[in-house]
Amino acid sequence: MKQIRLALAMLIPAAVVACSYIGIEARTPGIALVESVSADNADISIPYKKYLMDNGLTVIIHEDHSDPLVHLDVTYHVGSAREQVGKSGFAHLYEHMMFQGSENVGDEEHFKLVTEAGGELNGTTNADRTNYYQTVPVNHLEKMLWLEADRMGFLLSAVTGEKFERQRETVKNERRQYIDNVPYAGRHERIARALYPYGHPYSWPVIGYMEDLDRAELDDIKAFYRRWYGPNNATLTIGGAVDTEQVLPLVEKYFAAIPRGPEVNSREKQQLVLAGDRYISMEDKVQFPMLEMVLPTVYARHPDEAALDVLAEILAGGKSSILYKNLVANKLALQVYAYQPCRELACTFNINALPHPASGKSLADMEHMIRDAFSEFARRGVMQADLDKIKAKMTARLVFDLQSVKGKVSKLAEYQTFTGDANYIHRELARYSEITRQDVMRVFNTYIKGQAAVIMSVVPEGEPAQAAAADNFTPERFQAAEEEKSRPQLGFVPRKAPQEPFDRSVMPAAGVLPHVNLPALWRASTDNGLEILGTQSRETPTTSLLIKVPAGLYHQQAGQAGVAALTAAMLNEATLNYSAGQMADALDKLGSRIEISLQAGYTQILVASLSKHLDQTLALVQEKLLRPAFTVEDFSRVKQLALEGLRHNMKDAGYLADSAYRGLLYGNSVAALPAGGTLATLPGMGLQEVIGFYQRHFKAKGTQIILVSDLPQQQLSEKIDRLFGSWQGEAPRVELSLPMPEIAKNTIYLVDKAGAPQSEIRIGKRSLPFDVNGEFFKAGLMNFVLGGNFNSRIMMNLREDKAYAYSAQTAFNGNKYAGDFTAAAAVRADVTGKAILEFNRELKHYADKGISGAEHSFMRRAISQKNALKYETPENKLAFLAQILAYRPAPEFVKQQAHTLANISRQEVNALAKKHITPDDMFYLVVGDAKTLRPQLQALGYRVEEVIPNEIKN
């Protein structure tokens, strides 16, 4: 869903930001400084310097010395919208291809080098741009520049037919995992074909049509690269603990010689108008029918975009919105939301609804009720309170987006790519702050009221009559033979190889590893037994806190599975002094967020607030936590939603696999049961059971509060004591019995998901509970090269070598009560048996032969350098502090971990592998089409036993 950025009601004064536009050469040859932006005491600003290179590359540098890391982003102004009819998916394919090595970087080496540096990396593609990014300790900056320059200027010599075929198969696996095997996911492609005219660049999916990729040839994709991936179509953004004057010569060294690509022109914006409603439908493996109405509107950063965003919030942006109150609160719909996804060339206004099965309402009824809501809005109009709360809410989101260097760099890159103004943040603030009630009504009347829409019905297989109306539109289909004759071909645009005074094949050495300062911690406790741990972070004027109440999944009885989750859900409903809608309004007016979730040992309350609003936010937290209303009406709706959500999850292969696997690991204990309950326990559960669980377990003593704030300890302690000091009581301790299960030898447990294009595989066993620096910690080090990083043995085998899966991994998972070792992947259905053999081969080989010397060194380097990234954001710090409170390690435990890592020998790693990686002692579970999988699995020599996940046992 599109993230909307909104401004404070009062604009930041223009004088706060000093911009100078300079047309002279910088001291580095070939790089001209064109803009310098500084900020003085601005709440929302990103200081930077922008340069333009002779070859057209835009370079933006943001200095932020708060953490010893650097985030580097290269954004190319090319996405699926630059493709041609019949040649879709090329931009996304290059997201994969550009990690496969270049002229001076070996195959798979990009991932390996960033991982070894203790960094993180990825790439993303959408319709309008592709970006590649990495966050690493700052001493590896030059190496990252070398990597990015090599794939910008020296990729094609390393693009082989073999790599092309391998990544084409990887893309197909990605599609199977995230589209073909996911309920409702296929609707987006059909809506796009119905909404946009034939040949429109948004009429095909970003991932592309697989038949287009099958038809593509190596020369096609090479031509696409030459056309779009030149420096003059890219923005290089660098942010972090850098010195601009030291960075510029490095940028010039690695990028200046890369020749320009063909010129890139802006695309024409196209505002669509439909002549009439277009009804389309699809059958899918879903539990509930779904209706989605899509209306064409404007385009990104059009003067009316912001007002349409506000309209979407008023219609369905929270529990006080019109559609929520009319449909969800009245139990007519399970969910309803409105949003406006905006892209460079066009935006749409989307409304999505799932009818409540108990309401008897059809998709046609949903459509009528949505249209009735439009009429209600036309009568009601826009209230100033609507604007005020939405502006505050969105401004806070923007502040939170800037809590990391990555967030700031991403903003600069986005603004520069799509507006040419990296400092667009202030214009974005202005366009939302200046919205009036009249603006919102005008865009409603112009783009929504009485306008035609694409109306998509997704119905369960075999039930086409559930569609809102009969299909009345058939999109034009691509005809390969005819199109090949008439359409223009992508031409080769040669790039001249540069003559350079240095050898690009020599990888730059890393600098001195920067010192990482751990957060300075403070502790406090209250008379009623609250434990408090905090740290001060002055990077943004925000406060994040985590409240952990010892009332988790493991506190419930087996016969009451789901009571803890229902209790957590009820805390999000009415309180004694607020209705759910009033609470949502109050939070929106502050721009604050309160999220309640269930863990094994705790109910967690995550709070994010601008510090200036912390008192009001904590008062709302207190209201939710200590004064829930527990009304019969709320409980009835929440319980029914839980039941329907459970039924919906039964259509998701990954969920089924995790559920059935958990049952194998933990047998009949409470740990085996789903957090949300089962079809056996939920129907008979009453409100009094929820109230009883709350009264027994939601007590002050033992509750932990973790804080990360720009405010000092004394202020925070006083606020906590004032609001929660009167809370009393102590909850009963967990009495948990988790007997070890018996492993059935030579058996594969099979969960049937008829027609599934992929199989979910889980292989594993019960293992170690979590510890900070003991055997669990060491087992994680041992697992790193087996299946704990992108270049792991498992990933390289199943994804890169065999193309069986999009991703595959192994991991040790644990909490203070129990743990497991698990190998997991979603694989092509036709190679399920082969994938199991490969898993077994890798596990046994690692147990028998152990880690190599090179792998051992790689593991130690990669993990030892991660600390630069560990404590950057408030959420990072919250997780670190929460671990300290939960496991109470010695104060010097970080140094102890470093000592363990530095001294763990190959012999110790190999002993751990031999002890814990034992396939003969593991469960084997597969979720997929039983009819076709059973013979395949039996042919391996396994006994196949079908099982039913705990959720659906009666």
In the chain, the number of structural domains is 3
Q: How far is CA 499 from CA 262, 504, 922, in A?
A: 20, 11, 57
Average pLDDT over residues 335-353: 96
Q: 139: exposed, middle or buried (C-beta count within 10 Å: 0-12, 13-18, 19+)? A: buried
| Count of Cβ atoms closer than 10 Å to residue 577 Cβ | 11
Residues 442, 355 share a domain: yes
Residues 622, 702 share a domain: yes
How many Å is the Cα radius of gyration of the chain?
28
> Could you report the per-residue pLDDT of 752-800, keeping only the tens digit for each?
999 999 999 999 999 999 999 999 999 999 999 999 999 999 999 999 9
Question: What pLDDT was estimated at residue 6?
Answer: 28
CA nearest neighbour of 452 among 220, 229, 264, 295: 295
How is residue 102 annotated by DSSP? B
* Residue 739 belongs to a domain: no
Burial 751-772 (b: 16+ CB within 10 A, else e): bbbeebbbbbbbbbbbbbbbbb
What is the Cα–Cα distance from 791 to 25, expressed in whole angstroms? 42
What is the Cα–Cα distance from 412 to 59, expressed in whole angstroms? 10
Question: What pLDDT was estimated at residue 9?
Answer: 28
Residues 720, 755 share a domain: no
What is the Cα–Cα distance from 212 to 686, expressed in whole angstroms? 54
**Helix (H/G/I), strand (E/B), else coil: 303:** coil
Q: Does pLDDT of 10 surpass 70?
A: no
> Could you report the per-residue pLDDT of 475-498, keeping only the tens digit for each?
988 776 555 544 445 554 556 656
Residues 337, 391 share a domain: yes
Q: What confidence category does residue 17 fall into, taking pLDDT thresholds of 50, 70 and 90?
A: very low
Q: How far is CA 203 from CA 191, 475, 507, 914, in A?
A: 9, 10, 42, 53
Average pLDDT over residues 651-675: 91
CA nearest neighbour of 799 among 845, 763, 831: 831
Phi and psi angles of residue 339, each rounded to the nearest 5 degrees, phi first: -155, 165
What is the Cα–Cα distance from 681 to 15, expressed in whole angstroms? 62
| pTM to 2 decimal places | 0.92
CA nearest neighbour of 637 among 626, 627, 645: 645
> Could you report the per-residue pLDDT of 683-703, keeping only the tens digit for each?
999 999 999 999 999 999 999
Q: Does pLDDT of 23 surpass 50?
A: no
Question: What pLDDT was estimated at residue 500?
Answer: 77
Which run of H or E residues covers position 125?
A: strand 120-125
Q: Which domain holds residue 423?
A: 278-406+413-466
The distance between the two most distant Cα atoms of the chain, rounded to a whole number of Å, is 81
Q: Does pLDDT of 128 surpass 90?
A: yes
- For residue 668, is it left (φ>0), alpha (ψ between -120 and 50) or beta? alpha
> Could you report the per-residue pLDDT of 528-576, keeping only the tens digit for each?
999 999 999 988 899 999 999 999 999 998 788 999 999 999 999 999 9
Helix %, strand %, coil % of the chain (to 5): 45, 20, 35
| Count of Cβ atoms closer than 10 Å to residue 41 Cβ | 7
Question: What pLDDT was estimated at residue 13?
Answer: 27
Cα–Cα–Cα angle for 329, 335, 337, rounded to 5 degrees: 105
Mind giving me the DSSP string for 627-667?
-B---HHHHHHHHHHHHHHHHHHTT-HHHHHHHHHHHHHHT
Residue 455 near residue 468, CB atoms below 8 Å: yes
Q: Does pLDDT of 349 surpass 50?
A: yes
Using the 3D structure, point to which of 674, 709, 724 is the last residue of a domain: 724
Question: What pLDDT was estimated at residue 15?
Answer: 28
Q: What confidence category does residue 12 fall into, taking pLDDT thresholds of 50, 70 and 90?
A: very low
Pull the structure tokens for residue 777: 């910690």
What single-letter amino acid sits at 391?
Answer: K
- For residue 848, is it left (φ>0), alpha (ψ between -120 and 50) or beta? alpha
Pull the structure tokens for residue 295: 């209306």
* Residue 898 belongs to a domain: yes
Residues 887, 779 share a domain: yes
What is the Cα–Cα distance from 731 to 745, expressed in whole angstroms? 41
> Could you report the per-residue pLDDT of 873-930, keeping only the tens digit for each?
899 999 999 999 999 998 889 999 999 999 999 999 999 999 999 999 999 999 999 9
Residue 774 near residue 935, CB atoms below 8 Å: no
CA nearest neighbour of 758 among 174, 19, 135: 174
What is the Cα–Cα distance from 336 to 323, expressed in whole angstroms? 7
Residues 678, 755 share a domain: no
CA nearest neighbour of 225 among 492, 487, 418: 492
What is the Cα–Cα distance from 191 to 175, expressed in whole angstroms? 17
Residues 455, 329 share a domain: yes
Residue 47 near residue 41, CB atoms below 8 Å: no
Residue 627 near residue 575, CB atoms below 8 Å: yes
* Residue 249 belongs to a domain: no
* Residue 1 belongs to a domain: no
Residues 624, 527 share a domain: yes
CA nearest neighbour of 443 among 343, 303, 292: 303
Residues 556, 448 share a domain: no
Question: What pLDDT was estimated at residue 476?
Answer: 87
Question: What pLDDT was estimated at residue 28?
Answer: 67
* Residue 47 belongs to a domain: no
What is the Cα–Cα distance from 688 to 524, expressed in whole angstroms? 35
Q: Does pLDDT of 16 surpass 50?
A: no
Q: 482: exposed, middle or buried (C-beta count within 10 Å: 0-12, 13-18, 19+)? A: exposed
Burial 696-713 (b: 16+ CB within 10 A, else e): ebbbbebbbbbbbbebeb
Question: What pLDDT was estimated at residue 18?
Answer: 33
* Residue 714 belongs to a domain: yes
Q: What confidence category does residue 64 fall into, taking pLDDT thresholds of 50, 70 and 90?
A: very high
Residues 791, 696 share a domain: no
What is the Cα–Cα distance from 777 to 770, expressed in whole angstroms? 8
Q: Does pLDDT of 652 surpass 80?
A: yes
- For residue 258, is it left (φ>0), alpha (ψ between -120 and 50) or beta? beta
**Helix (H/G/I), strand (E/B), else coil: 213:** helix
The CATH number covering residue 681 comes to: 3.30.830.10
Q: What confidence category does residue 41 fall into, taking pLDDT thresholds of 50, 70 and 90?
A: low
* Residue 297 belongs to a domain: yes
More confident residue, 105 or 491: 105
* Residue 681 belongs to a domain: yes
Mind giving me the DSSP string for 780-819?
HHHHHHHHSSTTSHHHIIIIIIS--EEEEEEEEEE-SS-E
Q: Are strands 819-828 and 805-814 parallel, antiparallel or unpaired?
A: antiparallel
Q: For helices 161-175 and 218-228, what crossing angle results, to 10°?
A: 90
Q: What is the mean pLDDT of the chain?
A: 91
Mind giving me the DSSP string for 365-416?
HHHHHHHHHHHHHHHH---HHHHHHHHHHHHHHHHHHTTSHHHHHHHHHHHH
Residues 771, 913 share a domain: yes
Residues 712, 571 share a domain: yes
Order the strands of the 348-355 sheet from edge to edge: 278-284, 454-460, 290-296, 348-355, 333-339
Question: What pLDDT was estimated at residue 482?
Answer: 55
What is the Cα–Cα distance from 756 to 830, expressed in whole angstroms? 11
Q: Does pLDDT of 116 surpass 60?
A: yes
Average pLDDT over residues 645-671: 91
Length of the chain: 954
Q: What confidence category does residue 40 fall into, taking pLDDT thresholds of 50, 70 and 90?
A: low
